[in-house]
Amino acid sequence: MSPSPLNLEYIDHWRTAPTGIDLLRTLTYGEGTGIYEGDPYRTLFGGGQYEGPLDRHPRILVEKDGYSSDAFGPYQIQSTSWDEAKNALGLKDFSPLSQDRAAIYLAARKLRQYDQSFPELQAGGMTPLIMENLADTWASLPNRQGKSWYNQPVKPYNELLGVYNQRSLDEAKKAEAVNLSENWLQRLNPFRKKESAFPGSLPPIPNEITTYGGNYE
């Protein structure tokens, strides 16, 4: 069976899927663009902010700490990579939506180059091999030796894996907390119907549940 074409429909499917959202969050963390003040979608290489229009890639070359790059946005997309994604998907501007689409396209293209895919990422998670292959595009991601292909600083694999898995971990904690709440309410009233576990207002939740920090109303 031939792989799906890397068209806009395919890219938007994975851009809005949990797997794509997790990947974009991980790339933002890896590139360090979430730590600067201002809009990540206007972040230049090195952390400066671009105030001009986002109708195209700014192509502003910045030199910092011995490196020079025109990388831009939360995923630090270089102009040459942007040109490829723009032409492949027919993107008309460099808006946040277009930047998200470009990042997903570049990841999908790179995975496919190594006989991998987003379904494989979805099924098996962010393995060291998948991260190593993506590191060919994003210098902040480590190869399996824990180094950058471009001799730049990288985040440790386990740290990035924690960021990638954060959503599923949060969901698991919420599910556990809801289950604790259900068990507590059942002990409080053994004859309560299960479907009425969450009436209009909940009684105070015991401490062992609130330690998860969520609001489960």
| Residue-wise pLDDT tens digits, 44-54 | 999 999 999 99
Whole-angstrom distance, CA of residue 198 vs CA of residue 190 = 15
Same domain for 93 and 173: no
pLDDT in tens, 153-164: 899 999 999 999
With H, G, I as helix, E, B as strand and everything else as coil, classify residue 77: strand
pLDDT in tens, 28-66: 999 999 888 899 999 999 999 999 999 999 999 999 989
173 lies in which domain range?
168-210
Bridge partners, 67 (sequence order): 64
pLDDT at 213 (0 to 100): 39
For the residues 70-99, what does the mean pLDDT come to? Answer: 98
Same domain for 179 and 156: no
Same domain for 174 and 155: no
- 179 pLDDT band (50/70/90 cuts)? low
pLDDT at 193 (0 to 100): 60
pLDDT at 181 (0 to 100): 65
Evaluate whether residue 174 is within a structural domain.
yes
- 205 pLDDT band (50/70/90 cuts)? very low
- Say if residue 112's pLDDT is above 90: yes
Q: With beta carbons less than 8 A apart as the criterion, state whether 11 and 105 touch.
A: yes
Tokens at 47, concatenated: 């952390």
- Say if residue 19's pLDDT is above 60: yes
Evaluate whether residue 217 is within a structural domain.
no
**Between residues 101 and 190, which one has the greater pLDDT?**
101
Please list, in sequence order, all residues whose beta carbon lies within 8 angstroms of the beta carbon of residue 185, skipping any fewer than 6 positions away: 192, 197, 203
pTM here is 0.79
- Say if residue 197's pLDDT is above 50: no
Whole-angstrom distance, CA of residue 198 vs CA of residue 183 = 12
Evaluate whether residue 182 is within a structural domain.
yes
Same domain for 129 and 97: yes
Provide the percentage of residues in the chain whose pLDDT is more than 90. 69
